Amino acid sequence: MIKLKNNYLGGFTMAEEILDIEMIAMTLIGQAGETKSLAYQAMNAAKAGKFDEAEEFMKQSTEEMLKAHELQTDLIVREAGGEKIDVGLIMVHSQDHLMTAILFKELAKEFIEVYKRLEQK
C-alpha cells in the first residue's frame, strides 16, 4: 500500500491526497502492465512447448495481479470508510489497464491449455 506522511496538522493536504491517488493509479498501471507482460511470456513459452517455464511466468503474473488488486481493494475500503477518493482520468485509465490485464491473463491461461493438448497429440 502506498502511504504518504501526514502534514503537521495530522491529516493529508489536498496536494498530498491528489499525489497519493495519482501514485496509486500509476502503480496500478505498472503492475497491470507487468501482469500482462508475464502472461504473454507464459503463452509464448507454452507455444514453444516449455510448459514448466510457462507455469512460472503465470505464477509471477498472478503475484503482480494480486499486488494490483490489493491496491484497488485498499481504495475501495478507504472510500467505504468515508474518505472521498478523487476518481480522475488517470485512475479510470489505471482501472482499464488492470481489467485488460486480468482478461488477458485468463485468455493466456486458456491458450496454454490448448498448447498442452496440441503437444499431447
Q: How many CA atoms lie within 13 A of 3 on its CB side?
A: 7
53 closest CA partner among 43, 63, 62: 43
Q: Give domain limits for the chain.
A: 43-78+85-121
Residue 20 is assigned to a ligand binding site = no
Q: Which fold has domain 43-78+85-121?
A: Methane Monooxygenase Hydroxylase; Chain G, domain 1 (1.20.58)
Place of cell 503437444: 119
Give the pLDDT of residue 19. 62
Q: Which residue has the higher pLDDT, 82 or 12?
A: 82
Position 83 confidence tier, pLDDT thresholds 50, 70, 90: confident
Q: What percent of the chain has pLDDT over 70?
A: 84
Give the pLDDT of residue 84. 84
Give the pLDDT of residue 98. 96
Give the pLDDT of residue 5. 45
84: left (phi over 0), alpha (psi -120 to 50) or beta: beta
Give the pLDDT of residue 21. 85
Q: Is residue 97 annotated as part of the catalytic site, yes or no? A: no
Position 17 confidence tier, pLDDT thresholds 50, 70, 90: low
* Mean per-residue pLDDT of the chain: 88
Query: How does pLDDT run across 43-75, given as a tens digit for each residue?
Result: 999 999 999 999 999 999 999 999 999 999 988
Selecting among 47, 69, 78, 93, the annotated active-site residue is: 93
